[in-house]
Structure 1
């Protein structure tokens, strides 16, 4: 395929939907081990958690838009916290879904990514991730957030355009394993924080105020979604 075909719209579409062979089994397990090595140690996790925060706040923002709210901005902070601000009714289903989307977004994105990898769509996974990051960049309202999203999006873009199929495959599996494994830890961190500090302004506490359902039940939902996504997505990845 020549360069003109690759840069034309049909050529790009064909490239995005093309299936790539699954990497060797050792690559699948190696990327799982790499994800665990990033998520489990506290020191490494403190930095890597920024990527989970991008997915977390992006989930809030996307669901806010889908439920008819007006997204006014997203901020990402160096302590791996974030803030998504939207306008609309401060109650009702849209607000509830928006508040619930944060902790569930990373594992659900990982599950969707695992489905794409199981179908052999590595390039499509990388391009969709890049498109979501570009869309999110438009709503970032602080310098650290812009830097974080630009670096992350640039990495996806470079791998998807310049790397060979084997490197793309390994990168795609590493990213999805990270989302699946890393999507589990924040709910446990929130549970530990609430045990130490009591009621706060976390997503679970906000959902409790919105629904009169105890925050512990919302935490249980976050745990259930993340663990089920890890089991389901992990099974797809290990069976490829």
Structure 2
């Protein structure tokens, strides 16, 4: 247990620029290549719905459960006032959620705590698992959690660092694409129950402006994450 705790709390050596850039390129391929994206996007959905659930709990709403679907959509149900600042905060959290989680991960990695990041993610997935209310969602979180656990428990320090950087880049890069997909579905007349459209009904602010807010936050997180990654000349 002492060795296990030391591995979590110890600062890992700074990764090479080649590793940081290489994992960013691989993450970009996982996002840009559509045959893979239809599967890897489920990680974004997990983060999206997890962000809804986290904010719902923080603003005092009663979280009823989370469902993840095979088409990479999801829904988080909470009980409380259907209007007001709390509900607005919950709806605002979804699309920026993956980017903000990625930014937090980038901060932890910039301090050298790759192993602590992975174990922290496992704890978060375990908490999320308790809120899943459908079989596919249960399977999705378990598979992702098993992957993270396998790397955390059996992976060498270099493998752990590589995986942590890959996951961080993936969240930072995938979040803007999810926002683009949201607007694309809205232009085709779909997604009228999206977070942006629900925010429009609650606030009177056009849904397109809310999509713009989502896009600005996700791109801002990506920009800061790039700086924290150390790939830019200092």
Correspondence for 2:3: 6
Deviations 1:141-190 (A, max 9, x none): 01110011011111111111211110000000000000000111011011
Q: Which residue of 1 aligns with 2:152?
A: 160
Q: Which residue of 2 aligns with 1:139?
A: 131
For the residues of structure 2 that align with 1:132 and 1:117, how far apart are their CA atoms? 17
The answer for the alignment partner of 1:221 in structure 2 is 213
Return 5+ residue gaps in structure 2 as ranges.
none
Which TM-score applies when normalising by structure 1?
0.93
Q: Distance in 1 between matches of 2:62 and 2:8?
A: 31
1:198: how far off? 6.2
Secondary structure in 2 matching 1:72: strand
The reply on whether 1:205 has 2:197 as its aligned counterpart is yes
From 168, 173, 193, the equivalent of 2:165 is 173
After TM superposition, the structure 1 = structure 2 runs for residues 89-104 of structure 1, keeping only pairs within 5 Å, are 89-104=81-96
**1-side partners of 2:168 and 2:17: how far apart?**
16
Contact 1:32–1:174 under 8 Å retained in 2: yes
Distance (whole Å) between structure 1 residues aligned to residue 134 and residue 187 of structure 2? 31
Aligned ranges 1:14-29 → 2 under 5 Å: 14-29=6-21
- Is the 1:22–1:169 Cα contact (8 Å) retained in structure 2? no
The CA deviation string for residues 35-70 of structure 1, in whole angstroms up to 9 with x for no partner, is 010101222111110000000000000100000000
How many correspondences in the alignment? 232
- Consecutive unaligned residues in structure 1, runs of 5 or more: none
1:84-134 per-position Cα deviation (integer Å, ceiling 9, x unaligned): 000000011110000111101000000000000011010111011111100
Contact 2:182–2:191 under 8 Å retained in 1: no
Two-structure CA RMSD over aligned residues (Å): 1.3
Other-structure match for 1:235: 227
Q: State the partner residue of 1:36.
A: 28
1:106 to 92, 98, 106: 98
Q: 1:70 to 1:19 in 2, by over 3 A?
A: same
| Alpha-carbon distance between aligned partners in 2 of 1:48 and 1:64, rounded to the nearest angstrom | 25
TM-score (norm 2): 0.96
> Quick check: 2:46–2:141 contact (8 Å CA) kept in 1?
yes
